[in-house]
Structure 1
Amino acid sequence: MESEKSLQNFTPTGSCPIRDILSRLGDKWSMLVLLTLDANGVMRFSEIHRTLGDISHRMLTVTLRMLETDGMVRREVYAEVPPRVEYSLTERGRSLLPHIFGLVEWAEANKEAILGARRKS
């Protein structure tokens, strides 16, 4: 009798780290914000918004808060008039970059084949 294959379980029980992390980073904006901060260093909110272009103020606020909560982005508030707020990557955020770069390289290498497959379907 054939032994039963043991399957990995990725159900949404709240304890699946893969599902949790991918849901946080796999949205439309998180990786782009991380790449923007990596490319430009310390940035103000308006600079990030201008760099990304088509993100709403609300979505950028939500994304930055989420990345800050997860320890990927540092938010520093300066007691000035008007108040100045700057964002930068933390060590945790920087440690994710090689993996993002790998995904970007894979996407660039496979873009044409994927687009061709989409046209055929």
Structure 2
Amino acid sequence: MYQHKLDKDIRCPLEYGLEIFGGKWKSRIICVLAKKDVLRYSQLRKEMGNITDAVLASMLKELISNNIVTRQSYDQIPPRVEYSLTDKGKSVVPILQNICKWSGVYHREDSDNTMIQCRQCDYNK
């Protein structure tokens, strides 16, 4: 895993928020988990579409370390692991929905290329 040469110097709450849920995949993972509640890794991967296993695993680790997503493993055969949003993760959903609503006004894409989750989102209309 890439190691930053300098420690992050986050001085602004907005920078903190964007670090936590910004980027291409984190907000999508949060939105999928908000809609589906609890998902196993393979179900989440399927819902995400074109994300690689390495990227999904990395994003989940970051979201877990920031207490946005929780990972529940069950001691059974075959092993079962489920992911869901924490209360902190659920609290960011309205913010992402507002961003989506705002973006829907200014950004229109061909609906064939829009993610399945975005087509189902009430805030993107």
Q: TM-score category by the smaller chain?
A: 0.7 to 0.9
TM (normalized to structure 1)? Answer: 0.78
Does structure 2 conserve the Cα–Cα contact (< 8 Å) formed by 1:75 and 1:87? yes
The one of 46, 59, 77 aligned to 1:63: 59
Q: Hey, what does 2:9 align to over in structure 1?
A: 14
Matched, 1:110 2:114: no
Residue 76 of structure 1 is matched in structure 2 by 72
| Deviation of the 1:13 alpha carbon | 5.9
Where has structure 1 moved over 2 Å in runs of 4 or more?
Answer: 17-21
Checking the alignment, whether the CA contact within 8 Å between 1:75 and 1:88 is kept in structure 2 is yes
Deviation per CA, 1:18-47: give whole Å up to 9, x if none.
323313321110000000001111000000
Matches of 1:103 and 1:33 in 2, distance apart? 15
Percent identity reads: 30
1:36 paired to 2:32:
yes
Please say if residues 44 and 85 of structure 1, whose CA atoms lie closer than 8 Å, have aligned partners that are also in contact.
yes
**Counterpart in the other structure of 1:48:** 44
CA apart distance, 1:85: 0.2
* Structure 2 letter corresponding to 1:23: E
Stretches of structure 2 that go unaligned for 5 or more consecutive residues are 1-6, 109-125
The normalised TM-score by structure 2 is: 0.75
- SS of equivalent to 1:36: helix
- Structure 1 residue identity aligned to 2:35: A
- Structure 1 alignment gaps of length 5 or more: 1-11, 113-121
